[in-house]
Amino acid sequence: SDADVLLHAVCDAILGALGKGDIGEHFPNTDDHYKDISSLKLLQKVQNIMTEDGYAVGNVDAVVIAEEPNIKKYKPQMKTQIASMLKIDSSAVNIKATTQEGLGSLGNKEGIAAYATVLLFKSGENE
C-alpha cells in the first residue's frame, strides 16, 4: 500500500475491536493486488467489513509520532477524510501529534509511528 501509518493504525484498531485480526492478515504485503494501493481504499474495505458485521464507529482517537513532518496544518483535512470514510462527524475523530524528542529510531527521523483506538457500537444503538 501507500504505507499511510495513521490510516493503517485506524484500520488495525477497527479490525482489532471486531476481533478480526490485523491489516496484514486482510491485506498482505505479499499480495501484488495491494501494492501501492491507497490506504483510504483499505480503510473503505475495513469499513465494509465492520458494516457487514453490524457495527459502526462511535469515535476515533489517534496519535502520530514523528519528528518530521509537522502534521499540525494537515490535521483538519486528515480528520475530515477519516470521518468521511467512516461515515461519522469529524468531531468524533481526534488526531494528536507528538515527537520522541530526538530519542530512538523515531527521534532520529528513521520512521513514523501511529496508534489509534476506536469505539464501536452495534449499528442503530447510538442513534
Is 0.85 topped by the overall pTM?
yes
Count of domains forming the chain: 1
Q: Map residue 119 onto helix, strand or coil.
A: strand
Q: How many Cβ atoms sit within 10 Å of the Cβ of residue 75?
A: 15
Has residue 127 been placed in a domain? Answer: no
Has residue 25 been placed in a domain? Answer: yes
Has residue 21 been placed in a domain? Answer: yes
Find the Cα–Cα–Cα–Cα dihedral 60, 66, 68, 69, rounded to 10°: -10
Tens digit of each residue's pLDDT, the chain (127 residues)? 567 899 999 999 999 999 999 999 999 889 888 888 999 999 999 999 999 999 999 999 999 998 888 889 999 999 999 999 999 999 999 999 888 666 667 766 767 889 999 999 998 765 5
State how far the Cα of 43 lies from the Cα of 38, in Å rounded to an integer. Answer: 9
Has residue 81 been placed in a domain? Answer: yes
Has residue 77 been placed in a domain? Answer: yes
User: Any idea what the CATH number is for the domain that residue 39 is in?
Assistant: 3.30.1330.50
Task: Give the residue numbers spanning the domain of 84.
Answer: 5-122
Has residue 63 been placed in a domain? Answer: yes
Contact 11, 18 (CB under 8 A): no
Has residue 102 been placed in a domain? Answer: yes
